[in-house]
Amino acid sequence: MSRTGSLGLDLEILRRLNRDRLVRVLEDAPGSKDLVIDSELLKMLDRIAGATLLRSHGVEKMHKLQRVPPPVQCGQRVYIVRPALVTVKYIADHVHEDARTHPDLRVHVVVVPRMTPWVTGLLEEEGLYGTLNLHEFTPEFVPLDEDLLSLEMTSFFRDAFLGGDYSGCVGVARALNTLQGLFGAFPNVVAHGRAARAVVGALDALTAQESPKKALQLPEIGHLFVFDRDADLVTPLLSQLTYEGALDEHFGIRAGVVELPKEVAGPDAPTKLPINARDTIYDNIRNRHFAGVSGYLITRAHEVKAKREQAQTMTTAQMKDFVANEIQTLQQLQRSLSLHLSACEAITTRTRKDFDSQLGMEHGLVTGAGTAAEAQTFLKDCLARMLPLHANLRLLCLLSLTQDGLSRDRYNTLSQRLLAAHGHRHLVTLQHLRQIGLLAVNESFTSGGGGGTGGANGSGGSGGSGSGGVAPLQDRLAQVASLLPRRGSGWRAAAKRLRLIPDAERSIDLHNPTDMSYVFNGAYTPAVPKVVGDVLSGRLSPAQLQDALKVLPGTTVVRTAAPGGPPPPRVALVVLLGGITFAEVAAFRLLALTSSTRIVLAATATATGTDLVAAAVV
């Protein structure tokens, strides 16, 4: 599966921007220094700057941020952290502790991506405000691959969709503005969802501040799409079936790096493996349906073996040529092949024996072939078998979403079982899931003000405003989180309107796919790639689009280029706020091929359904 070559968009420039910015921050603490890094940021920083670069700017030692302060070996220490309560507390403890033994230690704190007022407030409370040197490091999009950008804002989903804190949107807008500066303004814009609107609004504000000269630049990116993650929550909840998706589900991919356990990677090989298009083997299998991957790998392995065997019978001259040119590539291929084969093997053994029935259940829920009662029984079994919390929550949420909310009875039964299996504290988790909209309870309307304290329920927080002061806060919060009708018309209607469920009669070729639904065995097409595809192909006109997107929660902004201008370049930038799954990435890659458009994906982070439900877990 080769993709359209890079159409002039030089995304490498982003890497340089990030490097330069990081260097500037490091040079704000001139001389030698030790780094203490928030473990959440390790991968991203790794991605931005290698050890040599850090060393050349005075970095001596690097430590992970932990409760215990690292040894003082240097006159300066630089903390690079997210603005989080726990990180600030750790830093404060470290500083207080070291102040006694090393009064001369200069401490710098770099907050990624932005300093927030409450962090300064907290530092003030700790009496440290004046003694620390505070900096900010706002990264641009990190190019994870030639078509995938990420801001690595892993907490965006939680902040925005659970906490109602949309401040991350400003950071996204800034990063988009940089792209705008590099590649010209976006002539066509489609944004859907609350966070997406905030991003577009902030982007407009930034554009307005700039000199009008910029507008003259010819756009290199024809379309900008911005979607909130909650436009399609079903996709992340379904088990991913592409190789890349499976790697993410089983081992976790962070900032384009997969961390393989020792037994997979081999005893001497590095466990952290950057995965991208540069590995040709990987490039060929990443988007394949998992079922076809090992077959492909074995074929390739045979080829390599054959090549090697040829070498046995070579003349001296041929051998010379072989050694000079081919042997290295072959060795590389072989390494890569064996690694991916063992990863495949590991995934297969880790996959539960009843994975097929799980898959059947998931797909049955989506297509409507299976009933909620079956799923409930299946879920109860899973709970009784004490499967991991995240797996159970994913299933519970999928059940709720595809049924457009659970009945009160079913909710009570399942939540009681869930608490029995995983502990009572998850009563709060369930509440959080409901706030995000991953879980909903259908109340019968006759119950009046009775049991309806659940907050964001399936059919919208309509009751809140009437009762005024007595309205429970959760309802008021739900109101806030959806100043406009938040829930669309329910998932089922949306799936129908956007035609996300392919015709069951049509068979899908999983190995040479032509339809994006191959990522879920032909049971479901991820909504965002589907909508983008429909817009790019012209199946949905701007007016139709506005109408069609009404079924999704949130509101839409659509802007089209002034008529009469040159046709926009066939390059689309798709931004997903709250994380993108590799299933969607694969679908987009297929779309890029079939629509001969270059599609660059940009997300706050790459994510799986596990990451989403984990945002709710206390």
Partner 1 sequence: MAFISDWTQIGSDVFYRKHELYTMEWGGGINLGDFMVAAASYGGPIALTRDETKFTKTQQSGKPIIFVFSSSGRKISSFKWMSGYLLCLGWSRSEDLVCVQEDGAVSLYDMFGTYQHTFNMGQEVKDTQVQSAQVFTSHRETGVAVLSKSNRVFMVSNIYEPRTRKYPDIPSGVVECWCVIREERHTNVLVSQGNNLLLLNHLDQRPQALYPEWNEPGGCIVEMAVSNNSRHVALLSDTGKLWIGSSDIRIKYCEYDVKSQVKPKQIAWCGTGAVVLLWDMTLEVVSVNGDATSYYLDSTSHLVQEPDGVRVLGSTAHDLLQKVPLVVTETLGIGSMAPGALLLEAAKGFQERSTRANDCLAMIKDTLEEAVNHCLQAAQHEYRPQTQKMLLRAALFGKSFLPEINPDPCLPLTWNQLEHLTLPVLLDRLVFRRFFPLALQIASFLKMPESDGASRILAHWACYKVLQPSQKSDEQIAKEINSKLGYTPGISYTDIANRADQAGRKQLAIKLIEYECRAKEQVLVLMRLGEDQTALRRALQSGDTDLIYTVLHHLRQKLSSGDFLMFIRNFPVAQSLHIRSCRELDMEQLRDILVQEDDFHGQALLRIKEAYMSNRTDTRQASLQGAAELFRKAKNESACQMTEEQVKLVKWQVRLEDGQHKPYVNKSLYDTLHQLLIDGQIKEAEKLKTEFKIPERSKNSLLLLRHQTF
Kindly state whether residue 412 participates in binding partner 1, applying the rule CB under 8 A: yes
> In the range 432-461, which residues lie near partner 1 by CB under 8 A?
449-451, 453-455
Selection from 291, 304, 375 nearest residue 335 by Cα: 304
Length of the chain equals 618
Kindly state whether residue 390 participates in binding partner 1, applying the rule CB under 8 A: no
Q: Which position has the token pair 């001389």?
A: 31
Kindly state whether residue 395 participates in binding partner 1, applying the rule CB under 8 A: no
**Closer to partner 1 by Cβ: residue 167 or 271:** 167
Q: According to CB under 8 A, which one of 310, 427, 444, 504 is a site residue for partner 1?
A: 427
**Closer to partner 1 by Cβ: residue 54 or 170:** 170
Selection from 584, 608, 611, 597 nearest residue 148 by Cα: 584
The Cα–Cα gap between 220 and 218 comes to 6
The Cα–Cα gap between 55 and 535 comes to 48
To the nearest 10°, the Cα dihedral for 444, 449, 453, 458? Answer: 30
**Closer to partner 1 by Cβ: residue 51 or 618:** 618
Instruction: Give min distance, CB of 373 to partner 1, in A.
Output: 15
Neighbours of 345 (CB within 10 A): 12
Instruction: Give min distance, CB of 420 to partner 1, in A.
Output: 4
Q: 301 Cβ partners below 8 Å, 6+ apart?
A: 334, 337, 338, 341
Instruction: Give min distance, CB of 412 to partner 1, in A.
Output: 5
Region of 217-225, 289-297, 426-434, 534-542 interacting with partner 1 (CB under 8 A): 426-434
The Cα–Cα gap between 110 and 213 comes to 34
Q: According to CB under 8 A, which one of 215, 218, 291, 386 is a site residue for partner 1?
A: 386
Instruction: Give min distance, CB of 384 to partner 1, in A.
Output: 4
Instruction: Give min distance, CB of 368 to partner 1, in A.
Output: 27
**Closer to partner 1 by Cβ: residue 169 or 607:** 169
> In the range 454-493, which residues lie near partner 1 by CB under 8 A?
454-455, 469-474, 476-477, 479-481
Q: 186 Cβ partners below 8 Å, 6+ apart?
A: 180, 219, 221, 222, 223, 224, 573
Kindly state whether residue 215 participates in binding partner 1, applying the rule CB under 8 A: no
Q: 268 Cβ partners below 8 Å, 6+ apart?
A: none
**Closer to partner 1 by Cβ: residue 307 or 476:** 476
Neighbours of 515 (CB within 10 A): 15
Q: According to CB under 8 A, which one of 60, 345, 381, 509 is a site residue for partner 1?
A: 381
Neighbours of 560 (CB within 10 A): 14
Kindly state whether residue 163 participates in binding partner 1, applying the rule CB under 8 A: yes
Beta carbons of 557 and 195 less than 8 angstroms apart = no
Beta carbons of 60 and 73 less than 8 angstroms apart = yes
Instruction: Give min distance, CB of 121 to partner 1, in A.
Output: 7
Kindly state whether residue 384 participates in binding partner 1, applying the rule CB under 8 A: yes
**Closer to partner 1 by Cβ: residue 410 or 530:** 410
Task: Give residue 30's Cα distance to chain centre.
Answer: 35
**Closer to partner 1 by Cβ: residue 381 or 547:** 381
Binding site for partner 1 (CB under 8 A): 85, 114, 116-118, 121-122, 163-167, 169-170, 198, 201-202, 205, 209, 211, 380-381, 383-386, 411-412, 415-417, 419-425, 427-428, 431, 449-451, 453-455, 469-474, 476-477, 479-481, 618
